[in-house]
Structure 1
Amino acid sequence: MRATPQLVPVSEWTTARLHLDDADRVAVVGLLGAVVQSVTPTARAGEFDVVLGSVAGRIALPSGVVLDVASRRISTADLLHLLRVTGRFPSLHHAGATPGGAGAGVVDVLALSLAREVDGLVAAGLAKEYVTRRLDRPPYGGVLDVREHLGRRMARADQLVTRVRRLTTDTPRHQQLAAALAALHRSGLREVAERAVLRSTAAMGPVSPTSLSASALRALVGTHRLGRYDAALELAITVAQAQELDLGGAGLRSSSLLFALPQVWEDAVALWACGQHPGRRVVQQHPFAVTDGREITARADVVVLDDDGRVERLLDAKYKRLGSTPSAADVYQMVTYCHRLGLRRASLVHPASDGPLVTRVVSIGDVDVETIQLPATAVTPAGADGVAPAAPAPSRSL
Structure 2
Amino acid sequence: MLDIRSRFDLAELTALLATYVGAPSLLRDDPVPSGEDDAGLVDLIAVAFVDELERLVGRGLPKGYVERTFTRPPFAGRPDVVTHLRRHAGRADRLVTRAQRITQDIAVNQVLAHAHALLLRAPLRRPRTRSRLTAMVPALSAISRPVDVDRAIRLARPRLPAHCRDVFDLAVLVVRGTSLLPEGVDRQGAAVLFPMPKVWEAYVEKAISDEAPSEHRVARQVPVPITEPPDRTTGHADVVEYDDDGRPVAVYDAKYKHFGRPSTDDLFQVFTYCRRLRCERGVLVLPGQGESWTVGMGEVTIALRGLPVLAARGVE
Distance 1:115 1:150 in 2: 44
Distance 2:26 2:13 in 1: 20
Q: Which residue of 2 aligns with 1:174?
A: 109
CA distances 1:244-265 after superposition (whole Å, capped 9, x unpaired): 9xxxxxxxxxx99631001111
SS of residue matched to 2:257 = coil
Match of residue 194, structure 2, among 246, 250, 259: 259
Q: Is the 8 A contact 2:26 2:45 kept in 1?
A: no
Q: Which residue of 1 aligns with 2:2?
A: 55
Counterparts of residues 96-245 of structure 1 (less than 5 Å) = 97=30, 99-103=32-36, 104-129=39-64, 141=74, 143=76, 152=87, 167-192=102-127, 193-211=129-147, 213-224=149-160, 226-242=161-177
CA distances 1:31-83 after superposition (whole Å, capped 9, x unpaired): xxxxxxxxxxxxxxxxxxxxxxx334xxxxxxxxxxxx332x22332111111
Distance 2:276 2:167 in 1: 43
Distance 2:53 2:283 in 1: 42
Distance 1:174 1:78 in 2: 30
Q: Is the 8 A contact 2:242 2:250 kept in 1?
A: yes
> Cα gap change, 1:176/1:342 in structure 2, threshold over 3 Å: closer, same or farther?
closer
**Alpha-carbon distance, 1:87 to partner:** 4.6
> Cα gap change, 1:219/1:361 in structure 2, threshold over 3 Å: closer, same or farther?
same
The two structures have a TM-score, normalised by structure 1, of: 0.62
Question: Residue type of the partner of 2:145?
Answer: P
Q: Is the 8 A contact 1:92 1:117 kept in 2?
A: no
Q: Which residue of 2 aligns with 1:252?
A: none
Match of residue 292, structure 2, among 335, 359, 379: 359
- For structure 2, which runs of at least 5 residues remain unmatched after alignment? 180-189
Q: Which residue of 2 aligns with 1:10?
A: none
Match of residue 313, structure 1, among 228, 250, 255: 250
User: Is the deviation greater in 163-172 or in 230-239?
Assistant: 163-172
Q: Is the 8 A contact 1:187 1:256 kept in 2?
A: no
Q: Is the 8 A contact 1:142 1:162 kept in 2?
A: yes
Q: Which residue of 2 aligns with 1:368?
A: 301
CA distances 1:121-152 after superposition (whole Å, capped 9, x unpaired): 01112234455656667xx6564886599764
Q: Is the 8 A contact 1:272 1:378 kept in 2?
A: no
Q: Which residue of 1 aligns with 2:8?
A: 74
SS of residue matched to 1:320 = coil
1:344 aligns with 2:291: no
Q: Is the 8 A contact 2:274 2:300 kept in 1?
A: yes
Question: Residue type of the partner of 1:228?
Answer: H
Greater RCO (CA < 8 Å, at least 6 residues apart): 1
**Alpha-carbon distance, 1:163 to partner:** 7.1
Q: Which residue of 2 aligns with 1:59?
A: none
- For structure 1, which runs of at least 5 residues remain unmatched after alignment? 1-53, 57-68, 245-254, 382-398
The two structures have a TM-score, normalised by structure 2, of: 0.76
Q: Is the 8 A contact 1:268 1:379 kept in 2?
A: no
**Structure with a larger share of its residues in helix:** 2
**Structure with a larger share of its residues in strand:** 1
How many aligned positions are there? Answer: 295
1:283 aligns with 2:230: no
Distance 1:337 1:266 in 2: 16
Distance 1:278 1:289 in 2: 27
Match of residue 259, structure 2, among 322, 326, 329: 322
Q: Is the 8 A contact 1:176 1:211 kept in 2?
A: no
Cα RMSD between the aligned structures?
3.7
> Cα gap change, 1:206/1:98 in structure 2, threshold over 3 Å: closer, same or farther?
farther
Q: Which residue of 1 aligns with 2:271?
A: 335
Question: Residue type of the partner of 1:101?
Answer: S
**Alpha-carbon distance, 1:166 to partner:** 5.6
Question: Residue type of the partner of 2:251?
Answer: L
SS of residue matched to 1:283 = strand
Q: Is the 8 A contact 2:249 2:280 kept in 1?
A: no
> Cα gap change, 1:182/1:366 in structure 2, threshold over 3 Å: closer, same or farther?
same
Q: Is the 8 A contact 1:221 1:234 kept in 2?
A: no
Q: Is the 8 A contact 2:242 2:249 kept in 1?
A: yes
Distance 1:127 1:317 in 2: 38
Q: Which residue of 1 aligns with 2:208?
A: 273
> Cα gap change, 1:277/1:202 in structure 2, threshold over 3 Å: closer, same or farther?
same
Distance 2:201 2:51 in 1: 29
**Alpha-carbon distance, 1:375 to partner:** 1.0
